[in-house]
Chains A and B, each alone.
Chain A
Amino acid sequence: MHELSLCHAVMGVVDRARGDRTVSRVQLRVGQLRQVVPETLLYCWDLVTENTPMAGAVLDIDHVRVRLHCTDCGADTVIEKSLILLCDSCRSPTVQVREGEEFLVTTVHFATPTAPLSAPAEENDPEENSYGPIPST
């Protein structure tokens, strides 16, 4: 059930990114090795966003399978379902994970179009600028 805390973290990222806009859809990229149950993640998303400005936003999960690089024979292996990391060519367990450990918010979609980016910067109060990078904490 780490899906619940993951949804809290996703909501934090989305909330910082959205400014005062209404979020319609959030795209995630989730690697197979993160052991996330998609149905549980979607259920938890509804739960944690209830009564927040992100309520009703659709969560879209882009599932990334595992891609390994064997450090013994150099072959690449793509794993569809299993979580056991073995090279397909030589069965070596000495492998590097190239893909499959991601957990990213990739894109946030809004219900209404945002103001054009070309608006002169001096008209924006920097404190209110919702386009800026997330301040490091």
Chain B
Amino acid sequence: MGRFHRHDDGTVHQHEHEHEHDSAVATDLGDHTGYETGADRIDVLERIFDENDRAAAANRAAFDAQNVTCVNLMSAPGAGKTALLQRSLGELRDRGVRTGVIEGDIETSIDADRLAGLGAQISLLNTGNGFGGECHLDAPMVARALTGLRLADLDLLLVENVGNLVCPAEFDVGAHSSAMVYAVTEGEEKPLKYPVMFRAVDLVVVNKIDLLPYLDFDIDLFEANLDTVNPTARTIRVSTKTGVGLPDWLDWVTAPERR
């Protein structure tokens, strides 16, 4: 705990805390855009996430204006977000739910191609840039992806975030609800290792349960660990291979209280 900085020689080190926090400042995060000016410094007090949060609020307002429910879908790479969407889009169409997908992918259109032809509007968002690709979707990116969708013709918008259990938890994209896809092959302890992400979701879809006979995965222990970090999250057990549990997921994602 303390202050980190880097010296000219490249070394990084940490000092003990040099002051007590003024909790009024630390917790009062209202409008601090006015500067106080000193001789050789200015106090800025600007929140770094403000710009993202403003864009997220604008996205949410755009969804609300068209009665669209937006759900942010997050997971580690390979847990089955795209497989879940593949199994869901046809079913949603049959239920009369007009669905759109924002597909976040660092470089390729592979996932978006897998979702083509299933009756949903797809907007692909490649996050690759000069530094090798973003690890998450943020609200301005989602706003850009919205230009590729006709919101007026949608009831439900599913945002498939970049596979990552750290960064996407930090960025509000304007969704009304958040869901995580979790594979039973990931072990029981990830809620304890990535508590910020697990705290950020309303639902955990426990996927690949068709593999349970072949694994030592203790699903009760996983749910107990989840309960430790997020007592209000629901879980639904699903196999995107066999289709078990899919109706429960579809009921959840289309429920009126999602918005």
Give A contacts to B, CB under 8 Å.
1-2, 4-6, 9-10, 12-14, 17, 29, 33-35, 38-39, 41-42, 46-47, 58-65, 80, 83-86, 93-94, 98-99, 102-110, 112-114, 117, 131-134, 136-137
Complex partner residue of B195 from A13, A85, A113, CB under 8 angstroms: A85
Inter-subunit contact A13/B46 (CB<8 Å): yes
Main secondary structure of the interface of B (DSSP, over half): mixed
With a CB–CB cut-off of 8 A, which chain B residues contact A47? 131
**Does residue B51 face the partner (Cβ distance < 8 Å to A)?**
yes
Listed stretches B25-33, B86-94, B111-119; interface member = B25-33
Q: Is B150 an interface position by the 8 A CB rule?
A: no
Interface pair B21/A99, CB less than 8 Å apart:
yes
In the bound complex, how far is the Cα of B21 from the Cα of A98, in angstroms? 12
CA distance A42 to B2 in the complex (A): 15
Alpha-carbon gap, A14 to B135, bound state (A): 24
**Which chain B residues have a beta carbon within 8 Å of chain A's beta carbons?**
1-6, 12, 14, 21, 23, 26-27, 29, 33-35, 37-49, 51-52, 54, 131, 134-136, 138, 166-167, 169-171, 192, 195-196, 199, 227-231
Do A108 and B136 touch (CB < 8 A)?
Answer: no
Residues of A within 8 A of B136 (CB): 2, 5
Residues of B within 8 A of A38 (CB): 4, 12, 14
- Please name all residues of chain A whose beta carbon is closer than 8 Å to the beta carbon of B230 when the two chains form the complex: 93
User: Knowing A117-B37, A133-B34 touch, does A99 contact B43 (C-beta < 8 A)?
Assistant: no
A83: nearest chain-B partner, CB-CB? B195
Interface of A is mostly: mixed
- Residues of A close to B14: CB separation below 8 A: 38
Tell me whether B39 and A114 are in contact (CB under 8 A).
yes
**Chain A residues in 8 Å Cβ range of B6:** 42, 46, 58-59
Select which of A34, A84, A104, A133 is within 8 A of B170 by beta carbon.
A34
Residues in chain B near residue A98, CB distance under 8 A: 23, 27
| Complex Cα spacing A123 to B47, Å | 31
Known: A2-B167, A61-B5. A104 touches B27 (CB 8 A): no
Task: Give Cα distance in the complex from A98 to B3, angstroms.
Answer: 20
Q: In the bound complex, how far is the Cα of B37 from the Cα of A35, in angstroms?
A: 31
Nearest chain B residue, comparing its CB with the CB of A78: B1
**Looking across the interface, which residue of chain B has its beta carbon closest to that of A17?**
B44
How many angstroms from the CA of A118 to the CA of B170 in the assembled complex?
A: 41
How far in angstroms is the closest Cβ of chain A from B2?
Answer: 6
Minimal beta-carbon separation of B25 from chain A (angstroms):
9
Q: Which residue of B lies closest to A12 (CB)?
A: B51
Q: Please give me the residue from chain B that is nearest to A45 by CB atom.
A: B6
Q: Which 10 A-B pairs have the closest CB atoms?
A: A38-B4, A2-B167, A61-B4, A109-B41, A42-B6, A103-B48, A83-B195, A133-B33, A113-B40, A9-B48
